[in-house]
Structure 1
Amino acid sequence: MEIRPPRTDQVPDSLRVRRYRQAPEQGPRLLFFSGGSALAGVSRKLQRYSHNTVHLVTPFDSGGSSAMLRHAFGMPALGDLRSRLMALADETAPDHSQVCRLFAHRLPMEATPEDLRATLEALARGHHVLVSDLTPALRRPLCRQLDVFREAMPATFELRGACIGNLILAGGYLAGRRQLAPMARQAAELVQARGTVRAVVDHDYHLAATLADGRRVLGQHRITGKEVPPLDTPIARLDLSASGDAHVPVTATLPEESRRLITSADLICYPPGSFYSSVLANLLPAGIGRAIRDNPCPKVFIPNPGHDPEQVGKDLPGLVATLLETLRRDTGEDCPATALLDVILIDSRHGDYAGHLDADFLAELGVTLIDTPLVAARGASHFDDDRLVAALMSLA
């Protein structure tokens, strides 16, 4: 296998970026392992440069609206799929703003169960203001999926705070023989997504973090530091469990479609976001590391420029080492770092990173460090989406 060296001589490359902007339908296949909302802004910008990006997202979310659906139907989480599909939805489509409002709408917390069920029925029948003005070609399938969900919903299902977009996708999942990929394809067609979005695997599994002191934490929502207090001990290892209540070790296998998407990418990105529950979670299935290794395209890691509660006790060299260790579980320890990672993108002037990457560390791995303006003026924890997209497009 011949490794193609990434283009690192000029980042950003204004000529290259401008060329992609002029013909986004022919843009490069940038592939992202991510989850949550960290890449939402970047994804909205990406569609202006490429309609061919690929997003493999985690189905292991165990909090919020996704948790209620998982408990009721024994299914993977849908929230990250919904978020990324809407970020890639065609902004020029006539119904774009209405569809975004519908998918983002949450049922009120203060309403009675009777009122909530009446609202859901009005939505499913097409009588609610959120759906009544949609074109029939869009309204009918969305209402049909809501009706499938409504009919299957357990009598005890908690609708307060439920995200309508998640309920629509759940209906599509239940109607489609409980498979995520066909549901994701159908949803992408409905919202005219400019890119491919898939769950990295189609399993009802949970994250299991083993801490440095030997304790084990089960469930994504207990790892992120958002719904419960953040961890006070570094994570030593991340695995999958068949249960969110007791640790039942399990291995997920990368689907063939996901493998093909990885091996055909023009650039592979380990993007910013929750380091363990969003990025590394996607790298756990068997076959991921080998698929990445077998693609000679550039592989880019973009560390968070600010505080991530999951990174307690980790500096930049530790993050790089953990990323490589996770991938080498699948490839074997003798896999060279350059087959899994080529470039690390940082903004040392404006970002707030723990530790630094010295020349000896980088030389030992054979990895290139690109230090370029990426961070927004409003604070060290936020990337400037335009700058980040321009840097990635320059490397593709």
Structure 2
Amino acid sequence: MKSSERIKVCHTVSLPDPVKLARYERSPELGPRVLFFSGGTALKDFSRRLVRYTHNSIHIITPFDSGGSSAELRRAFNMIAVGDMRNRLMALSERLPGSDSAIFDLFAYRLPKNEPRDTLREELFALRDGKHPLIIAVDDPMRKLIRNHLRFFTECMPDTFDLRGASIGNLILAGGYFNYGRHIDPVIYLFSKLVDVKGTVRPVSSADLHLAAEMADGSCIVGQHLITGKETAPIASPVKRLFLTRDLEPEGTPEPCEVQIRSKVSDLIRKAELICYPMGSFYTSIIANLLPRGVGACISRNDCPKIYIPNSAPDPEQHGMSLSGCVRVLLDALMSSCDHECARDQLLNFMLVDTRRGEYPLPLDLPRIRRLGIEIIDTDLVDDDNPPFLSPKKVLAHLLSIV
């Protein structure tokens, strides 16, 4: 049998294209393979709407979070962060009106922050032993699976583990991670099947690494939670360079380290029909995903369209940056993770913005962006009820019309 041939076809599309969107909505199981590089929260509402149009989206998630519930897990077990993956899995799980919400309620539940240590341990053990109302509400076989993973977690949990504010969903995923020999993919696959996730979620790396930023003022910050400014004061100097390092609390200057892109991730990039660098924390969500060696090379070898959707509202991580500066940093990160020379149009083709109502970092300098060979799509994207934030509905309509 003769193997199939690949040809490159160029055509003009309408933005948005209601006919194309109607086709996707009618048969989402046949929807396009749109790939996103992101963190876990910025695309939460977007992902919930996305499943109406495609069940084939691909989400490459950064596993380098060092704040919140993930911080204690990483400190105790030297593991990747699972919180952003949990967020995306649940956002892509098609929760129909009137359906049983027990599994969503359980995964979203956090232990109290102000209860005594023994009280928190008792509540966790009640969940593990099937005696807590949240676990009783979950049907089998999911209940047995969750209890099994919580058992693995409690067996590994040190006595000093701080359960205050712990995400039960994160603890369940961590227990599965231990159960499968510290491999996260089998856990993601199993839970994706059990809660009917309409898409593919994978971490860009399975290495236990942290983000570090060299700042323009000569200082250095280690830890995603410090760079993003969500749990501490916002950064006071522009980021000069973002890199990966092994130690969250190094003695002296942090040592950069390299990690290669996972083969499973490169396969997903190769299959994508559209690659998107979406809204979200600029450095800790988007650029962080491009740090593993080979990400840019895989992107460059895929002839599909690539599009950047910058934040339409202020992002503390973009301190001192212009919009054209963001594009330049994005391109530099992509080129740095290539193992061969490639043209810019192999890495980025379009930028989707609403300059009339969005609050983008100034100066915009759109002519400079166009000189980089990037086509700017400047259209109505901002949420009418929540300016200057982007409307998931409007962004999705334009994005899917390109495929």
Question: After superposition, what is the alpha-carbon deviation per residue over 1:317-339, rounded to whole angstroms, capped at 9, x for unaligned?
Answer: 10000000001112268421100
The answer to whether residue 208 in structure 2 is matched with residue 201 in structure 1 is no
SS in 2 for 1:145: helix
2:344 to 337, 346, 351: 337
Match of 1:388 in 2: 395
The answer to whether the Cα contact below 8 Å between 2:246 and 2:257 also exists between their aligned partners in 1 is: yes
The answer to whether residue 330 in structure 2 is matched with residue 323 in structure 1 is yes
Structure 1 pair 227–268 and aligned structure 2 pair: CA distance change class (3 A) = same
**How far 1:116 moved relative to its partner?**
1.0
1:126 to 130, 147, 165: 130
**One-letter identity of the residue aligned with 2:385:** R
> C-alpha distance in 2, partners of 1:173/1:100?
20
Question: After superposition, what is the alpha-carbon deviation per residue over 1:33-90, rounded to whole angstroms, capped at 9, x for unaligned?
Answer: 0003000000000100000000000000000100000011010001100000000012
Question: After superposition, what is the alpha-carbon deviation per residue over 1:146-188, rounded to whole angstroms, capped at 9, x for unaligned?
Answer: 1111111100101110000000000000101001111111121
The answer to whether residue 321 in structure 2 is matched with residue 314 in structure 1 is yes
Structure 1 pair 127–8 and aligned structure 2 pair: CA distance change class (3 A) = farther
SS in 1 for 2:101: helix
User: Which runs of structure 2 are paired with 1:18-33 in the superposition (5 Å)?
Assistant: 18-33=22-37
The answer to whether the Cα contact below 8 Å between 2:212 and 2:220 also exists between their aligned partners in 1 is: yes
Structure with more relative contact order (C-alpha pairs < 8 Å, separation 6 or more): 1
SS in 2 for 1:244: coil
> C-alpha distance in 2, partners of 1:361/1:104?
41
User: Which runs of structure 2 are paired with 1:10-49 in the superposition (5 Å)?
Assistant: 10-49=14-53
2:263 to 256, 259, 262: 256
Q: Taking structure 1 as the reference length, what is the TM-score of the superposition?
A: 0.96
1:353 to 356, 360, 378: 360
User: Which runs of structure 2 are paired with 1:274-293 in the superposition (5 Å)?
Assistant: 274-293=281-300
The answer to whether the Cα contact below 8 Å between 1:210 and 1:216 also exists between their aligned partners in 2 is: yes
The answer to whether residue 304 in structure 2 is matched with residue 297 in structure 1 is yes
Match of 1:238 in 2: 242
Structure 1 pair 8–310 and aligned structure 2 pair: CA distance change class (3 A) = farther
The answer to whether the Cα contact below 8 Å between 1:89 and 1:96 also exists between their aligned partners in 2 is: no
Match of 1:161 in 2: 165
Structure 1 pair 67–130 and aligned structure 2 pair: CA distance change class (3 A) = same
**How far 1:350 moved relative to its partner?**
1.4
The answer to whether the Cα contact below 8 Å between 1:4 and 1:296 also exists between their aligned partners in 2 is: no
> C-alpha distance in 2, partners of 1:65/1:338?
39
> C-alpha distance in 2, partners of 1:3/1:234?
40
SS in 2 for 1:136: coil
> C-alpha distance in 2, partners of 1:373/1:119?
48
SS in 1 for 2:152: helix
% same residue: 44
Match of 1:92 in 2: 96
The answer to whether residue 377 in structure 2 is matched with residue 373 in structure 1 is no
Q: Which runs of 4+ in 1 moved over 6 A?
A: none
**One-letter identity of the residue aligned with 1:384:** S
> C-alpha distance in 1, partners of 2:387/2:213?
28
Q: Taking structure 2 as the reference length, what is the TM-score of the superposition?
A: 0.94
**How far 1:286 moved relative to its partner?**
0.5
Question: After superposition, what is the alpha-carbon deviation per residue over 1:338-382, rounded to whole angstroms, capped at 9, x for unaligned?
Answer: 0000110001111111222433541x3221110111111233342
User: Which runs of structure 2 are paired with 1:83-232 in the superposition (5 Å)?
Assistant: 83-92=87-96, 96-232=100-236
> C-alpha distance in 1, partners of 2:273/2:100?
29
Structure 1 pair 93–190 and aligned structure 2 pair: CA distance change class (3 A) = farther
The answer to whether the Cα contact below 8 Å between 1:304 and 1:381 also exists between their aligned partners in 2 is: no
Point out where structure 1 has 5 or more consecutive residues left out of the alignment. none
SS in 2 for 1:369: strand
> C-alpha distance in 1, partners of 2:159/2:248?
23
Most deviating of 221-230 and 243-252 = 243-252
> C-alpha distance in 2, partners of 1:45/1:339?
29
Question: After superposition, what is the alpha-carbon deviation per residue over 1:1-60, rounded to whole angstroms, capped at 9, x for unaligned?
Answer: 97665x664211111111100000000000000003000000000100000000000000
The answer to whether the Cα contact below 8 Å between 1:8 and 1:370 also exists between their aligned partners in 2 is: no
Structure 1 pair 45–37 and aligned structure 2 pair: CA distance change class (3 A) = same
SS in 1 for 2:330: helix
Match of 1:51 in 2: 55
Most deviating of 48-57 and 182-191 = 182-191
